[in-house]
Structure 1
């Protein structure tokens, strides 16, 4: 069921504000609270919460899921490109650790809001974890990974992150989990997933709580761990109570006049809803928008410092430089923006969408992003943008039509996007636990620094 603005009797107001005509406006979506979400039990959610913030799941016991996905940082870490395994601290304060210098990750930590909703069928910026009926248990994963049991898509995503060398597993020679990953031993009795499982099982508090959940006679499996992580993410980062949802439910006063102007632009002249459609403002598809390439890249391009996104997953030339359309729920909380955090400012990101070619050609460099100094030489982070051939490739792949916007229109759009913020999401539903069963520093508390 869709709602037109006319249902709420305010089209005369919109017309008087020169917002849009009935024929120009797109249908508005259903309120987010009508989306289909799982209903996990409290035991699973609280267990998943502890594991989410517990470094026990990482190879070197020094990083947790919550290190890069903090509830009070918009479910991310507040910087353009995260410092991965081996760093110390959180978000903008995260720095290199002298005994194990971390690598700058090539992509921005993606927000986790509403990923438990049934309509999300692809994860990561490039869709490397996606639903596909023809694959084992209906889930397509990177080719080196083999699912051992059925899991939800969100749980499968957690499995992938645990065995990423730069994100959680570590590097060869540092720990037995990293060694197993490097040798291609991920699934199976002697694989990295099994070694992570044994670590968790060896902690009495975790063993006792999993026995409550799965039964005393059921051996713990990595999919049990992934399942409770998914349950926590689905609960903690559900964001379905924004002013926009209130407006869609019939409360006309939930949006200000400026936000109404922005809404009319979003669903009308500005064309945002062509890609940012539906309940969560995403078409769940992949698009090339000529976003400037910063960071170390993913090993793509002539010099290995670029990132062709979806094209590297599908192998199709027409998918090069395409990335998944992000949901815009809580977008005001999730800066920096873009698959590599190329823009720290929401207005600059909107301006780029209005004229992608100009945004690419006039990109001012790392000053537009947010990369706090980590005490290391990072001049190579702009290497792709200094390669004229690569910049032309990025430009040629763009499929986003130009639609330049005025400063006032951008201001109004920002006002509307702020109306997509669920107030609970500013800090999280449960937040960070005080301690975790492993006794390790909790990701998100001062000791983690």
Structure 2
């Protein structure tokens, strides 16, 4: 049975999660007590979080997950985006299909609530791709010298922020969300981190309005003196270019104390803003390409309800056909059988609609897996590239035309962890 985790279940939940995630270092009773207090706060607060557990006989908890009910920007439209995190299976109940049951429950709840898109951060990308999750945007980690940052702004406009500025930090963050596809609105947990002063914050004002904010931590440089640090930028948002330049100039001025600045962004064009984007590896990629950073894949997306996704997003702000259009597609989804099959996607009266149909796979315009469809409709990969690499075959329509109608022009940006 899968049900909501209650306060009486938290000792079991804490032990299970501690075994599943040893990196959390919940190693003794004091650590466990602190973790139970955290879980208690989460389930008793008004927030976007819920814990669900899979219970066996005698109320034994063998698996748990955390549901995040989020609001995010899908190509300019704010919709519900659910996230699943802390998927934990009891150490002595692995290979019993527990994780599969938890994911099935999560997807069923999403469909009941009419949530069209769900997401997660994978511990194993291939495991979740088999469950229909498509790869999200790549994230780049740069290690830059402070002197490489632009120095054309006004560092004196940069001020230190504190928990007293929480509402302003949330406001500029959510303004950034409204401007960037993929971003998720500020969460209860992130507000808690601001209140607890989890990091330092620097900000830029224009008049009385905060137009840029940067969260950072300073980490001592190994084998160096106590005044030598790396700066780890945890979050960086701005609503006007001048705020970005002023914050860059402020970072530029930290050369006496900061050796390298860690910047993590989805935007590979960031390197064009710096005098020297090279990291500290001195490695070359043949023939002569200097290493500038590392890249990783993380957040994955899954369309949990094709009909809800089309209805809620309606491919907002993308090109529209000039005349009525009908496209037949076949979606292969083995994990949510109700979604497997043919669809008729129709444009008319300046609106897209979709309904199930009965065309066989070999007679449709487009046959695609749910994972590739999710990545495509979230703007992570183009139909042109899916066709080029032989993953998808398109009939009757040019791939470029389909991209103009259904693919956001920018890849999603997501700074929210869950």
| TM beyond 0.5 | no
Q: Which has the larger radius of gyration?
A: 2
Structure with larger RCO (C-alpha < 8 A, sep 6+): 1
* Structure with higher helix content: 1
TM-score when normalising by structure 1:
0.22
* Structure with higher strand content: 2
